[in-house]
Amino acid sequence: MATQPLIDRDTASKIITILDFVYSLGVEDCHYKQDEGLAREFLEKTSEQGRYGLLGKEIYFDWFEWELQLKRAARETKYPFSSIMQYFGRMGAWQSNWLSVLIPVSFDFYRKGISDRLNAPDGCEYAMFAERRRVWWSKHGIQKVSLQEYIDVIQQFCLDRRRMDIAEMERYEDKRENKYERIGEWDMRKRILNPRFYERYIKAIAILISKKDY
């Protein structure tokens, strides 16, 4: 039906499951690396729009490989793979619609995991943290995350990304010799999203997730 949402409540709940996974992966990678300098360097380098990576493997890549990492994570960790694949199927090509927002926001959750572990290295016992789901690492120990907290963080990451994307385009300078020349793979226009996509995601994530789904 034309009125059917692109993300139903069940899939929206599964999105939080994936965000929880990548957050935990960030904590895990930081924990096992045991290299504060390297972790902070990683956070600095990946603060650049369109740059992704994995601290555990010490590699950097673009949005496409990060998407593959999310799909692999959903499959290998027995997360709801079919719902996530359905989501990516609806998303289609990067930048084609507002569902693309999951790519940068999920990476922000990965970076948050690294940052939280760095800021409170002795905050928790890692073995206990690794056994839990939907929790954050903090200086006060393992923190259970409420539904509202998840929504707040997702929406804040959307606002932050929207602000950065707008700023990047304001600074953008097209260096092509003519407008018919192909845009390079690392051109900023291929690395950011339409600001309206973030606005729609902010509204969707709040409307579609209810306490029952969580």
Span 25-35, average pLDDT? 94
CB atoms near residue 84 (< 10 Å): 21
Say whether pLDDT at 4 is over 90. Answer: no
Tell me the C-alpha distance between 212 and 126, whole Å: 29
Give the model's pLDDT for residue 184.
58
Q: Lowest-pLDDT range, 6-10, 22-26, 65-69? A: 6-10
Tell me the C-alpha distance between 95 and 152, whole Å: 24
What pTM was computed for the model? Answer: 0.87
